[in-house]
A and B are shown apart, each in its own frame.
Chain A
């Protein structure tokens, strides 16, 4: 079951530069998309979300872009900071399918000073 895919297992970025994390999905019923950040030995922490009626949502250094026709979303972090180093999970839900979250495999972001 690969409804949500994050094809890059890892990403390394220099401090101050932009980090771009990508996510693809296949289920056209998904109507809400979320990004979670996870540190080792902790649970996923909600970062930012977007509903399918929008194509962009911004919160401080974090922006999520949604391209529905391509079934693709991305998370931009600008500027990247060493404290952003973590595993980032993309997740999607469909209200008509009960609202459960379907997660991608995660991308480990490393921001180097």
Chain B
């Protein structure tokens, strides 16, 4: 069964360093997402990406964050200068897309990358 894969599973970095989290979405999916979950809190939406551009981003997704689809398979989240409060599980998700109102938009998630900022 196709699945979303994320690497690395755990990333440790020093405050102020840049990190790149990588994701390979399901191959025939068109919409890509990043979410994060700070320990003990809800899963929160960060950004959605469609047709090689950001379609929506949350307040969390400030200038320190960027996303890219550098080739036909990878989808990356870059944090330019990490802060202590960026420590969280980061989940990538993909979906076939929403082609009509009330259409199914089932998002499939990867296993996540645990980011620890020291």
Residues of B within 8 A of A93 (CB): 105
Point out the residues of chain A lying under 8 angstroms from B55, CB to CB: 98
Report B67 CB to chain A, min CB distance, Å.
14
Chain B contacts for A102, CB-based, 8 A: 45
Q: Is the CB of B111 within 8 A of A95?
A: no
Closest CB-CB distance, A33 to chain B, in whole Å? Answer: 11
Determine whether B75 belongs to the interface, using a CB cutoff of 8 Å to chain A. Answer: no
* Count of residues in A whose CB is under 8 Å from the partner chain: 28
A52 close to chain B: CB less than 8 A: yes
A42 partner residues in chain B, CB cutoff 8 A: 111-112
Q: Which residues of A contact B12 (CB under 8 A)?
A: none
Cβ-closest chain A residue relative to B40: A105
Q: Given A34, A96, A106, which contacts B101 in the complex, CB threshold below 8 Å?
A: A96
- A25 to B11 Cα, complex, angstroms: 34
How long is the Cα–Cα vector from A65 to B104 in the complex, in angstroms?
A: 17
A82 beta carbon closer than 8 Å to chain B: no
8 Å CB interface, B51-102 against A: 55-56, 58, 91, 93, 95, 98, 100-102
Q: List 29 A-B contacts (CB under 8 A).
A: A32-B102, A41-B112, A43-B6, A43-B109, A43-B110, A43-B112, A44-B43, A44-B91, A46-B106, A49-B104, A49-B106, A51-B104, A52-B102, A53-B102, A89-B43, A91-B43, A93-B105, A95-B98, A95-B102, A95-B105, A98-B55, A99-B48, A99-B95, A99-B98, A100-B48, A100-B56, A100-B58, A101-B93, A103-B42
Instruction: State the 6 A-B residue pairs at the shortest beta-carbon distance, nearest first.
Output: A43-B109, A98-B56, A103-B43, A100-B45, A44-B109, A43-B111
